[in-house]
Amino acid sequence: MSEENLVGRLVYSKAGRDQGRPLLVIRVIDNRLVLVVDGDLRTVEKPKIKNLRHLQTTNRVASAIVEKMARGDPLSNSEVRKAIEDLLYRDSGGGGLEDG
């Protein structure tokens, strides 16, 4: 998978203390290491280095995060949390009633 395809992708940790947690890839370090965040335990200010072998990748990408990073705009933890929530909600079928 190329770098362009990984940034902004929703992944799940398969190993470590954060096992099972949904995370977003925010940077590719090399062909086996990436930086991941969840906006909570793993903040934008202190991302976690993870080996790709320890991540379960999904086909879901937070396009708003990718676009923002491509522009060079700073990323906030609340944006990361919202993006992960949106991707998980969309995966679960969503479709519920919205407030308002």
Give the predicted TM-score (pTM) of the model.
0.84
So what's the pLDDT on residue 98?
38
Write the pLDDT tens digit of every residue in 75-95: 999 999 999 999 998 756 555
Domains in the chain with CATH codes: 3-88 (2.30.30.140)
Q: Measured between alpha carbons, how far is 92 from 8 in angstroms, rounded to an integer?
A: 19
- Residues 63, 83: Cα–Cα separation, whole Å: 9
List pLDDT tens digits, range 56-78: 999 999 999 999 999 999 999 99
Residue 70 contacts by C-beta under 8 Å, 6 or more apart in sequence? none
How many other β-carbons are positioned within 10 Å of the β-carbon of residue 93? 7
Sole residue written with tokens 């940790």: 13
Q: Has residue 97 got a pLDDT over 50?
A: no
